[in-house]
Amino acid sequence: MSYIKFDDSKVKKFVHENELPEMQALVTAADQELRQGTGAGSDFRDWLDLPSTYDQDEFSRIQRAAEKIRKDSEVLVVIGIGGSYLGAKMAVDFLNGTFYNTQPSSKRRGVQVVFAGNSLSASYLQELTDFIGDRDFSINIISKSGTTTEPSIAFRLLKAKLIKKYGENEANQRIYATTDAKHGALRQEATASQYETFVIPDGVGGRYSVLTPVGLLPIAATGADLNQLMKGASDAAKAYAVTDLKENPAYRYAALRNILYRKGYSTELVENYEPNLRMFAEWWKQLMGESEGKDQKGIYPSSANFTTDLHSLGQYIQEGLRDLFETVIKVKEPPYNLDVPMDEKNLDGLNYLQGMSLNEVNERAYEGVVLAHNDGGVPVLTVEIPDESEYSLGYLIYFFEVAVAISGYLNGINPFNQPGVEAYKKNMFALLGKPGYEELGQRLNRELNQ
């Protein structure tokens, strides 16, 4: 039995009995493309075996670096964008709770972790600088090239603050660069300044990189157990290596979402009932969106946080355009629980819940929502994990990574490239006057002024 419980009972009235078995041959073929490297993007499949083949020496260095950061810093600033920050941010929130950074050091396992370089907002950077204040801090700059605009600007500004506070020599000892093994501007700077460095593997794309040093150093800085994280992913890799849809829930999920997509369900709404899973949805959206959204095809990835968003999006989900389906990420045993107390006045009419646990109330809410949305014409899939441990997170990460790889091949696209993300960059560079983009800049300025 799989560690993750996958419930597809609430798609039965939308998927005929014969449809899933008829997907088996296609799934088996997609699996062969993935495992044998015959499919598009085969150079970026190293995440498949990463949980068991990762560099043990570098893994130990990551843990030692995290221990040093916890000893000499109060804050770790992680600078990166896209896959260079979403995975780490998702994991920090998942494992430590919504208010981790607001807790006193006595209540935290590690340092406060904040993120920069994921926008071009001056206000955000100033607020982050004010948050650091005069406290001890370190920087983890994450970039394969070292020239991506958003993180490069943030690194310039925060590196200057670091040098001003500590002097250049000590500042260099507080900078950790996660970058290409041999090439790129950041690799050159790291070598010249003797930053401690970690490698972004060539065969792992950004959105699949959370279990590489890209995600592992920030996660370890919070005191999380990296060994359990990797063990969860490793066990998932073994569990999801079979092709039989009856035995592989990750492949079954991929097959069902493709069946629904071909019936016109073009939007997938990933949902949770625990607020500290909000960033998991953001990581999931990049994983799904960049992997599948190309060649004018793909399921649009969206998200909602329940029960909060039932008071804003619930009406549309219940009665809006019937082009969406839901995937709920559910935690069987959340970290905490509370009982609803008795109130003698009972003005709010809640005494019927007296003595019931809040987790039980949340569970009944989930069940009620599933039934209502199903009746309203919305297929619902549920992915349930036992708890919010490192092991569960590693397992869940791998579940979605292997599912979207199979899903992409089922849809006839390369699930490992992202050619479309470069289009806006060319225009931005041209409008900013970057050398080499003068002709395009002139044309774009004419268009803007028409």
Nearest one of 149, 151, 144, 216 to 180, comparing CA atoms: 144
Catalytic residue of the set 271, 282, 290, 388 = 290
The question of whether 425 is a catalytic residue gets the answer yes
* Among 262, 251, 252, CA closest to 411: 262
Which of 238, 332, 425, 426 is flagged as catalytic?
A: 425
Helix 390-410 to helix 278-292 angle (10° resolution) is 20
Which residue stretches of 263-387 are H helix? 278-292, 314-319, 358-375
**What's the per-residue H, E or C state across 218-281?**
HHHHCCCCHHHHHHHHHHHHHHCCCCCCCCCHHHHHHHHHHHHHHCCCCEEEEEECCHHHHHHH
Give CA–CA dist 371/271, Å, rounded: 15
How many CB atoms neighbour CB 55 within 10 A? 15
Read off the amino acid at residue 418.
Answer: Q
Sheet order of strands, 267-272 included: 5-10, 380-385, 324-331, 267-272, 300-305
- Which tokens hold the place of 67? 């221990």
Amino acid at 152: S
Interhelix angle 422-432/438-448, rounded to 10 degrees, is: 90
Q: Which of 172, 171, 177 is nearest to 198 (CA)?
A: 177
Give the closest residue to 4 by CA, choosing from 250, 244, 288: 250
Which residues are CB-contacts of 44 (< 8 A; sequence separation ≥ 6)? Answer: 203, 204, 205, 208, 416, 417
Question: What is the C-alpha separation between 211 and 252, in angstroms, rounded?
Answer: 24
Residue 271 annotated to the active site: no
Rounded to the nearest angstrom, the gap between the alpha carbon of residue 304 and the centroid of all alpha carbons in its chain is 15
| Enclosing H/E stretch for 330 | strand 324-331
Q: Which amino acid is at 282?
A: E
Count the Cβ atoms, other than its own, within 10 Å of residue 173.
15
3-class SS of residue 409: helix
Peptide bond preceding 307: is omega within 30 degrees of 0, i.e. cis? yes
Catalytic residues, by residue number, are 290, 425
